[in-house]
Structure 1
Amino acid sequence: MLFTVGALGLAPQQQAPATASRSPALSHANGIEALRARVRNLPADPTGWSSLGMAYVQQARSTADPAAYTRARAALRKSLVLQPSGNFAAETGMGALEASLHRFSEALTWARRATTSDPYSAPAQGVLADALTQLGRYEESYAAVQRMTDLRPDSGALARASYSWELRGDTRRARDLMEKSYQAAGTPSDKAFALTHLATLALETGDPNTAVDLANTGLATLPGDPALLEARARAHAALGQNRQAVSDYTTAIAAAPLPQYLLGLGDLQESLGHPEKAEEQYNVLRAQDRLRKANGGVADVDGVLFEADHGDPGTAVAMGRTALRQRPFLAVHDAMAWALHRAGRDAEALEQADLALALGTVSAPFYFHRALINEALGRTEAARTDLRQALNIDPHFHPVDAPRARAALSRIEAAR
């Protein structure tokens, strides 16, 4: 899923202007430099500042550079100073910025302002949909996606529509809409985005060969894109092509050391019997978490799951509880369920696991987590059903957990 482990947890947002180039970094740099030249020439133009702010938001999301978020906020605030009211572009940008920082209540506030300033702005409706989705207000988010699609059925609207159906477990419709998003994409970045998620949908429904092909197509369009590299790494790992998987993860991390990439490579190295190499990645994750705490940030899904498996489960529960208060989203319920299970609190864990699957989402990790919770509670038939479901969805869903799922299923069936 777009929101499970290894993912950013967001539907696509308004894209900054992009130009064709040999790498994502160059594309961002070229586009940003042009926008910086514009605000130097027209320093009193609020639209120029809002465009620059959104470009920095996109750069930050792609490169994991915290300084880009600071620059984004400064540019968007400058636009709002120049035009305090009715500035829907800057208000939309602020919503996208807050959503990228996982401050979804603040993102919703800005999105409401933007849609009030301009009810006919499709990008503002998109940011509204993103915030509502992550706040667990799913029916409202579907309505916002529909409004966005009615206003402008472009690549971003179609991608969000795909995501809304993926949440509800309709992977066929999600795939069809993401293919339409790809066909409608007007920039290399938009095409790469759609192909990344088409590859992810293929991978997470048990088709790693198609995932590799789609990722290769995307990398031909935008070489070095870290999200495409991660998707291809996961597909190579599922196919047992471990050398290629390690290489792709390593290249993705060099471009953008996002937690899901680090955790993905660490878990792959662990599954290959390379504990020291796994610890290299886990240590970077621990350093990132210390920085998060120092800055007062809230842990995301990857941080909660990592703490549950490689740290202190009690701490993971506390992290998950804080995360749920800010983001009562399906993937956070799943992470909280796993943290509670690891802490030995399985009755509470089952409640959270059921919430994670409440919309009918097709997710092998979600079913695997609930299966082990059910087994711990003595609900062996429910555990057996969930394990079969997880392995039917994707028999290679995780380099460590998929073998654990097969072992648990064999153990349960042997005891029948």
Structure 2
Amino acid sequence: MHRPEDEPAPAIRRRRHLRTTAITIALGAVMFTVGAVALSPTNSSGPETTATAASVSGPVRGIAALRERVKQLPKDPGSWADLGMALVQQARTTADQAAYAQAERALRHSLRLQPVENLHAEIGMGALAAARHQFRDALTWAEKAIATSPATPASHGVLADAHTQLGHYGEAEAAVQKMADLRPDSASLARASYVFELRGDTGGARELMERALRAAGTPGERAFAHTHLSALALDGGDTAAALRQAEAGLAMTPRDAGLLEARARAHAALGKSAQAVADYTAAIAVAPLPQYLLGLGELQQSLGHRDLAEAQYAVLRAQETLRRAGDASADTDAILFEADHGDPRQAVSMAETAVRERPFLAVHDAYAWALHRAGRDQEALTQADKALVLGTRSALFLHHRGAIHQALGDTTAARRDFQQALNLDPSFHPLHAPAAREAIRRIDDTP
């Protein structure tokens, strides 16, 4: 296998059809703040320090070894930083909120041992802040890490993620370009893939994610690439390719929650409901993340299994109670869930807070939907347009805007958005895709 350095870094700015003044890196459902793309400060490929979403057992074993290391080397700031990063990873991949607090304690202990130019801990604190959706703090830590070591790619990765979520798209693009220039590895190539995906260039996104897969050096990086190649295929309506990518990843990392969700979505799109339910259930057993719970609940609802759907929604409501108690901002899945299955006015309140802290495309979309469900459609249209301003090819975003146009009486714009959503992915959502088809039929039947 060739080394990733054998291929040139992606020249993001050379794509003439992309405007370099506005570009984004992150996807609504999956962020690059830690995830499966390695941001380990030590740049190790071992299970103890590599940020990976491959499985639960790997990270847990790694954390045990790191805890033993800090016992043996209690004054080594690097060991404490590695433990902190591994705990951030565990929290991200298992939804274990207690691990975040443990991660912060480990990272701050590292900083007490070495308060100045502690690159490992600075990157770890940036990743922790981003994982908690504290993106202004993530930006500060990324800038500190870059001041400590300007040529460390991982620092620019955290910087790019923070800028993206804060709506600083030009700065985010520059950070990704710098990261790729320094080292065109799996982490930087995957971020570059999102630059093109969220600008609507799915072909360029797929090419770069395939390069990220070839450059992957860990099971987590390979799983991450397969997950997103599956999503790219599914979002383009190629369900067979989506299933192939998910299964290729699961053959190597059979307990990866992201891949299980990817296969669940592909099975659902192919009409294989029982297999989809099984995969969602397996993903939730690994990591009860809101997007998996919501995905399974809405699939069960679409099948007429209201009681089974409500079981998932009950868990989501319990998670929301814990979130409010912890004074954390809501993620998009929580906002969309509240808008569709709870109190739309509460969803608007959640979205207003979220968009102030994280003015990112998917948050604008969730805010638009909450406003629509609360009957505030003129305001909703403004937010829906912001969600699509970069040309993102999102069937869900288009459906949301179509419903808003329809509520405002603009049936021509509504039909256009609904049709574009279905053209992109005829099975983009178990409840909303049928609603889009029904909306088109009603518009067409109206004299």
TM-score, length-normalised on structure 1? 0.97
% identity of equivalent residues: 60
Aligned partner of 2:27 in structure 1 is 3
Opposite residue 350 of structure 1, the aligned amino acid is L
Report the 3-state secondary structure (helix = DSSP H, G, I; strand = E; otherwise coil) of the residue aligned with 2:137. helix
Instruction: Compute the displacement of 1:48 (Å).
Output: 1.2
Contact kept? 1:10, 1:134, Cα under 8 Å: no
User: 1:26 & 1:18 partners in 2: Cα distance?
Assistant: 14
Matched, 1:340 2:371: yes
Equivalent position to 2:239, from 208, 219, 223 = 208
Equivalent position to 2:295, from 264, 267, 271 = 264
User: 1:128 & 1:265 partners in 2: Cα distance?
Assistant: 33
Equivalent position to 2:427, from 384, 393, 396 = 396
Matched, 1:129 2:160: yes
Equivalent position to 2:334, from 303, 309, 334 = 303
Contact kept? 2:280, 2:292, Cα under 8 Å: yes
Aligned partner of 1:230 in structure 2 is 261
User: 2:343 & 2:91 partners in 1: Cα distance?
Assistant: 30
Opposite residue 25 of structure 1, the aligned amino acid is V
Opposite residue 33 of structure 1, the aligned amino acid is A
Aligned length: 413
Matched, 1:198 2:222: no
Instruction: Compute the displacement of 1:15 (Å).
Output: 4.1
Cα pair distance change 1:2/1:124, threshold 3 Å: closer
User: 1:357 & 1:206 partners in 2: Cα distance?
Assistant: 19
Residues 343-383 of structure 1 show CA distances to partners (whole Å, capped at 9, x for unaligned) of 11110000000000000000000000000100111111111
Opposite residue 179 of structure 1, the aligned amino acid is E
Residues 267-312 of structure 1 show CA distances to partners (whole Å, capped at 9, x for unaligned) of 0000000000000000000000001011111111011111111111
Alignment of 1:5-404 (within 5 A): 7-10=29-32, 12=35, 14-16=38-40, 18-19=46-47, 24-404=55-435
Instruction: Compute the displacement of 1:33 (Å).
Output: 2.2
Instruction: Compute the displacement of 1:18 (Å).
Output: 4.5
User: 2:397 & 2:271 partners in 1: Cα distance?
Assistant: 23
Residues 106-156 of structure 1 show CA distances to partners (whole Å, capped at 9, x for unaligned) of 111111111111111100000000000111111110100000001111100
Residues 368-402 of structure 1 show CA distances to partners (whole Å, capped at 9, x for unaligned) of 00001001111111111111110011000000000
Contact kept? 2:193, 2:206, Cα under 8 Å: yes
Opposite residue 178 of structure 2, the aligned amino acid is R
Report the 3-state secondary structure (helix = DSSP H, G, I; strand = E; otherwise coil) of the residue aligned with 2:327. coil
User: 1:366 & 1:383 partners in 2: Cα distance?
Assistant: 12
Structure with the higher helix share, 1 or 2: 1
Opposite residue 388 of structure 2, the aligned amino acid is L
Contact kept? 2:396, 2:428, Cα under 8 Å: yes
Contact kept? 1:161, 1:174, Cα under 8 Å: yes
Report the 3-state secondary structure (helix = DSSP H, G, I; strand = E; otherwise coil) of the residue aligned with 1:24. coil
Contact kept? 2:32, 2:191, Cα under 8 Å: no
Instruction: Compute the displacement of 1:191 (Å).
Output: 0.5
Report the 3-state secondary structure (helix = DSSP H, G, I; strand = E; otherwise coil) of the residue aligned with 1:334. helix
Poorly superposed stretches of 4+, deviation over 3 Å = 8-21
Contact kept? 1:19, 1:188, Cα under 8 Å: no
User: 2:103 & 2:132 partners in 1: Cα distance?
Assistant: 12
Contact kept? 1:2, 1:197, Cα under 8 Å: no
Instruction: Compute the displacement of 1:164 (Å).
Output: 1.3
Opposite residue 120 of structure 2, the aligned amino acid is A
Contact kept? 1:2, 1:200, Cα under 8 Å: no
Opposite residue 202 of structure 1, the aligned amino acid is A
User: 1:152 & 1:112 partners in 2: Cα distance?
Assistant: 19
Opposite residue 101 of structure 2, the aligned amino acid is T
Residues 168-204 of structure 1 show CA distances to partners (whole Å, capped at 9, x for unaligned) of 1111111110110011010111100111111111111
Instruction: Compute the displacement of 1:166 (Å).
Output: 1.1
Opposite residue 369 of structure 1, the aligned amino acid is H
Contact kept? 1:92, 1:124, Cα under 8 Å: yes
Gaps spanning 5+ residues in structure 2: where? 1-24
Cα pair distance change 1:314/1:366, threshold 3 Å: same
Opposite residue 314 of structure 1, the aligned amino acid is R
